[in-house]
Structure 1
Amino acid sequence: MIFTSEQVSSGHPDKLCDQISDAIVTECLKHDKNSRVAVETLIKDNQVVVAGEVSTKHFFNLEGIVKKVLEPYGMDDVMVTNVLGVQSPDIAQGVDKGGAGDQGIMFGYATDETPEFLPLPYVLATRVLEKLTNLGHPALGKDAKAQVTYDYENKRIETFLVSIQHDEEVDLAFVKRIVTQTMMSVAQRYRQNLDFRVLVNPTGRFVLGGSYADAGVTGRKIVADTYGGFAHHGGGAFSGKDPSKVDRSATYMARKIAKDFVREGYAKRCEVQLAYAIGVTEPVGVYVNTFGTSDYTLEQLVGVVRERYDLTPQGIIKDLNLLDVDYTKTTCLGHFTKPYLPWEQ
């Protein structure tokens, strides 16, 4: 099997929007634990539109939040359009009683192929961007994407691709040298071959980036946020949503369950599906797939899930301490790549 996964950097325009949306969630929950937030952001050039529903006792400075997020990316002349309203009372009446904030299906996945319990090509793509970000070389810009094609049968990297923004005066050969060294370092860290095909900025030039090259919208990088295409996805994004939205909270719990099962030896690979109905506390469906890597039956595994985990929205919020999470720490380079987050522990 040859499989490819990708990751994007924090300076990607969609990620700029995710960061703004999550900064609003974090700000509201910090001052009012009962805040209800569902916020979408759109950015193009220096124009930012923030739309959605917010019900909170905390008065926040929207323009200040947006500018604080964008300042590290060299954007200080920003125009913000506020299109925020309050949560529908029809939705609130079900959520306030502890029910799910919406219907939907959520998936969690884990595999024993990396220490992170995540698919290897996805981890490699993530770690190379993480390393380039931490390097902070002045010749490199904030907008970048990575993609890794991996041959599972022969256990080797086939192609390592990075496209990264750079200064106009910098020679592409210099950029390629820095990025290739970083690729090699990451491959060595995960004990992989070094004779892979290297692609760095295949178009030859990547000077204009971020929102000045492409428009960005919240929630458009849901595969890069999760498992790089290895697992199913229910379609709901994370960023901009408070934890009463099961799109976020139940997906985090599904990941925890899958990771617990692999870590504890129930299976080598595991995917968990949870399904909810709006206003209903318990999930309407629980499914576990171990891809033939477990000695336990489906009924046994589902029984363990039902017995061991509180899958009500309020139970998930309590068990994972989701009202006290700094969601700005989750936004970039994967929601399941950081061991300090509660669903990863």
Structure 2
Amino acid sequence: MFEKVNPSHPDKLADRIAGALVDMAYGRRDNPRIAVEVLIGHGVCHIIAETSVRLDFDEIGHAVGRIAGKNHRIVYDEHPQDPILAENQQGKIRCGDNGIFKGCPITDEQRKLSNLMKRLYQSHPYDGKAVICDGKLTLCQSNAASDFLAEELRGNEPFEVNPLGEWDGGTSVDCGATNRKLGSDMGDAVTGGGLHGKDLSKADVSVNIYAHVLAQQIGRPYEFCCSIGDGFVDDAPYSSVVETAREFIEKRGGFEKFAEWGLF
């Protein structure tokens, strides 16, 4: 059982916008502290950011327009990071939160569905979701003819496309919020937090990526927990965990690109 949404799903639009703001922060400082939440839908995009660097509203507006369309009124609320939390990172990168983490190897079924969604998105870059359950694939893809989708899915029987009929989708139909599609982003992995809209000091980002990378290497689930202020995680210096995540994000092309498809 697995769900995969594409980068134009409203929840992924929120993730991508949050990632774009994190990219902006890293463009201003080597190791910024930032956490972003986005709620978007029906012509409004609400953004709350706790950040150690000031962001430019015009640049934020450009990012929202580029990712989600220019027809959104932007409500942006920016606050400095809490001073006690900021003190935790002074002089040394330490674990930024308490958390539980379980990385899992990607299954053949999950990889196949992810690759299918990426292929369909190349020709139809609009809101879409696929679910596979008990061997049956159900695909909802906006702005795509059901006959076209059925032809694209030949060889993946049994399947069903657009159960309610052809549709337009997007933020005029549904609202999107940051980190609401972690199942799509992480497969069978488990976390107490969210992947998107946060800097690398946050365990929700770095430790989740670290657990994912290890699980792929050893071919089995890998789980552990950590606490805020920890200098070591899983017997590894937290700084090395952060560097593993930094390399992973950089290979994706940044936080916004990472948010498009998640871990795979």
TM-score by length of 1: 0.70
Task: Tell me the equivalent position of 2:240.
Answer: 315
Task: Tell me the equivalent position of 1:107.
Answer: 102
Choose which of 63, 77, 99 in structure 2 pairs with 1:68. Answer: 63
On the 8 A contact 1:9/1:144 being kept in 2, the answer is yes
**What's the CA shift string for 1:237-280, capped at 9, x where partnerless?**
11101010011101111111111112xxxxxxx11113111112
Task: Tell me the equivalent position of 1:328.
Answer: 256
Q: Amino acid of the residue matched to residue 92 of structure 1?
A: A
SS in 2 for 1:204: coil
Distance 2:115 2:153 in 1: 9
Distance 1:165 1:238 in 2: 26
Structure with the higher fraction of residues in helix conformation: 2
Choose which of 121, 142, 162 in structure 1 pairs with 2:139. Answer: 162
1:40-59 alignment, distance < 5 Å: 40-56=37-53, 59=54
Task: Tell me the equivalent position of 1:37.
Answer: 34
On the 8 A contact 1:104/1:276 being kept in 2, the answer is yes
Distance 1:62 1:79 in 2: 12
1:224 aligns with 2:217: no
On the 8 A contact 1:35/1:55 being kept in 2, the answer is yes
SS in 1 for 2:259: coil
Choose which of 120, 124, 128 in structure 1 pairs with 2:116. Answer: 128
Task: Tell me the equivalent position of 1:281.
Answer: 231
On the 8 A contact 1:106/1:254 being kept in 2, the answer is yes
Choose which of 226, 230, 238 in structure 1 pairs with 2:195. Answer: 238
CA RMSD of aligned residues (A): 2.1
Choose which of 77, 80, 87 in structure 2 pairs with 1:86. Answer: 80
1:156-305 alignment, distance < 5 Å: 158-166=135-143, 175-184=145-154, 194=155, 196-207=157-168, 209-227=169-187, 230-231=188-189, 233-262=190-219, 270-283=220-233, 286=234
Q: Amino acid of the residue matched to residue 120 of structure 1?
A: D
Matched residue count: 260
Which range is displaced more, 23-32 or 120-129? 120-129
Q: Amino acid of the residue matched to residue 113 of structure 2?
A: A
Q: Amino acid of the residue matched to residue 220 of structure 1?
A: R
On the 8 A contact 1:50/1:83 being kept in 2, the answer is yes
Q: Amino acid of the residue matched to residue 247 of structure 1?
A: D
- 1:323 shift after superposition: 9.8
- 1:197 shift after superposition: 1.7
Distance 1:66 1:222 in 2: 26
In structure 2, the gaps of 5 or more residues are: none
- Find the structure with the greater CA-based Rg: 1
- After superposition, the Cα gap between the structure-2 partners of 1:323 and 1:109, relative to the gap in structure 1 and judged at 3 Å, is closer
Q: Amino acid of the residue matched to residue 204 of structure 1?
A: G
Runs (4+) of structure 1 exceeding 4 A deviation are none
On the 8 A contact 2:20/2:63 being kept in 1, the answer is no
Q: Amino acid of the residue matched to residue 278 of structure 1?
A: I
On the 8 A contact 1:144/1:165 being kept in 2, the answer is yes
TM-score by length of 2: 0.90
- After superposition, the Cα gap between the structure-2 partners of 1:238 and 1:319, relative to the gap in structure 1 and judged at 3 Å, is closer
- 1:63 shift after superposition: 4.2
